[in-house]
């Protein structure tokens, strides 16, 4: 007898339907031993595939983090706009991880085309359920392209005002002057009015103040213009105006207007309000406040 047994080419399904198989030497081999051998072979084969898939995932994610950090450093070195940098780098990281996961699935033995079809169906279903998120995603792309605002700009929208700290794939984050973090959906910012106070190098400072009807308007106007023109934070190339805004019930209300550089706006805002008060006090200019006269009528016999 030969030292080895040559098996017939039979499938596992054929073995399952029979209690034994016949070799070309008419030697009967028990089903139990053959099934066990194939089972061990399959376990070893799939264990190797799963091990390789896990290895690819670990190495792929590690390499992905290295590439992500490398791309971020190169963008910083080349002075790429932070808005574009904070949007592109996470997007590339997600795409690379998806590629690594698909490669791992292919190593295990799943057909990529079938998996892609299933993934496409799931994507359609998830997309229909997340229409708002897709709108935010599209809004983020359009914000990056058309740049109605960028990181570092001071904006107002939907009743919130603050400095833009980040523009992500779905949301824009602003920091309010009192250090609160406000997260606004990109689609809302794209489809609603947004005030951008940082798009121009200068910003007009408006101060509204009232004087008494008995005060000399021309004197007050001259003093205010002189004070504003001597203030270093006020841009000298732009005119300072002091005009009567309205005649109120208790005071003549003046509008004082000057232009300030964006980075100095709030410093000038508080400083000039304070100096205006000191100027009025030093020159005996009154700032009227509402007054009411109350007459008490006493009935006769009381």
* pLDDT tens per residue across span 195-217: 999 889 999 999 999 999 999 99
The pLDDT assigned to 122 comes to 59
CATH of domain 142-196: 2.30.30.60
Average pLDDT, integer, range 254-265: 94
Average pLDDT, integer, range 144-170: 88
The residue among 43 and 36 whose pLDDT is bigger is 43
DSSP 3-state assignment of 13? helix
The pLDDT assigned to 19 comes to 45
List the Cα angle 234/238/242 in 5-degree steps: 80
Sign of CA dihedral 139, 144, 147, 149: positive
Q: Please list, residue by residue across 158-176, b when 16 or more beta carbons sit within 10 angstroms of its beta carbon and e when fewer do.
A: eeeebbbebbbbbbbbbee
List the Cα angle 199/204/206 in 5-degree steps: 145
pLDDT, the chain, mean: 79
CA distance 166 to 175: 9
* pLDDT tens per residue across span 230-259: 999 999 999 999 999 999 888 999 999 999
Structure tokens at 180: 């609160």
Question: Residue 289: which pLDDT band, with cuts at 50, 70 and 90?
Answer: confident
Sign of CA dihedral 60, 66, 67, 72: positive
| pLDDT higher than 60, residue 15 | no
| pLDDT higher than 80, residue 218 | yes
According to CATH, the topology of domain 202-282 is: Alpha-Beta Plaits (3.30.70)
- Write phi, then psi, for 110 (nearest 5 degrees): -70, 145
* pLDDT tens per residue across span 73-86: 887 877 776 767 77
The residue among 104 and 1 whose pLDDT is bigger is 104
The pLDDT assigned to 39 comes to 72
pTM (2 decimals)? 0.56
What is the residue extent of each domain of the chain?
142-196, 202-282
| pLDDT higher than 50, residue 13 | no
% residues pLDDT > 90 (the chain): 33
CA distance 193 to 210: 32
């Amino acid at each position: 007898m030969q030292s080895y047994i040559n098996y017939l080419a039979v499938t596992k399904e054929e073995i399952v339907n029979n209690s034994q198989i016949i070799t070309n030497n008419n030697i009967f081999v028990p089903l139990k031993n053959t099934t066990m051998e194939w089972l061990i072979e399959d376990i070893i084969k799939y264990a190797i595939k799963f091990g390789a898939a896990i290895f690819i995932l670990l190495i792929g994610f590690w390499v992905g983090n290295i590439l992500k950090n490398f791309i971020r450093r190169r963008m910083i070195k080349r002075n790429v706009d932070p808005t574009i940098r904070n949007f592109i780098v996470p997007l590339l990281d997600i795409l690379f991880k998806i590629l690594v996961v698909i490669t791992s699935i292919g190593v295990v033995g799943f057909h990529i085309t079938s998996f892609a079809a299933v993934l496409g169906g799931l994507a359609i279903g998830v997309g229909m359920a997340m229409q708002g998120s897709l709108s935010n995603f599209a809004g983020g792309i359009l914000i990056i392209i058309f740049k109605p605002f960028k990181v570092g700009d001071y904006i107002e929208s939907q009743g919130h005002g603050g400095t833009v700290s980040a523009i992500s794939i779905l949301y824009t984050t602003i920091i309010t002057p009192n250090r609160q973090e406000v997260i606004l959906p990109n689609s809302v910012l794209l489809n609603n009015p947004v005030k951008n106070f940082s798009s121009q190098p200068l910003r007009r400072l408006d101060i509204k103040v009232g004087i008494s009807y008995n005060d000399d308007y021309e004197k007050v106007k001259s003093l205010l213009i002189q004070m504003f023109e001597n203030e270093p934070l006020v841009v000298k190339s732009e005119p300072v105006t002091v005009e009567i805004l309205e005649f109120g019930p208790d005071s003549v209300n003046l509008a004082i207007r000057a232009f300030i550089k964006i980075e100095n706006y709030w410093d000038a805002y508080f400083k000039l309000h304070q100096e205006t008060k000191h100027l009025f006090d030093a020159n005996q200019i009154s700032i009227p406040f509402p007054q009411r006269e109350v007459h008490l009528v006493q009935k006769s016999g009381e």
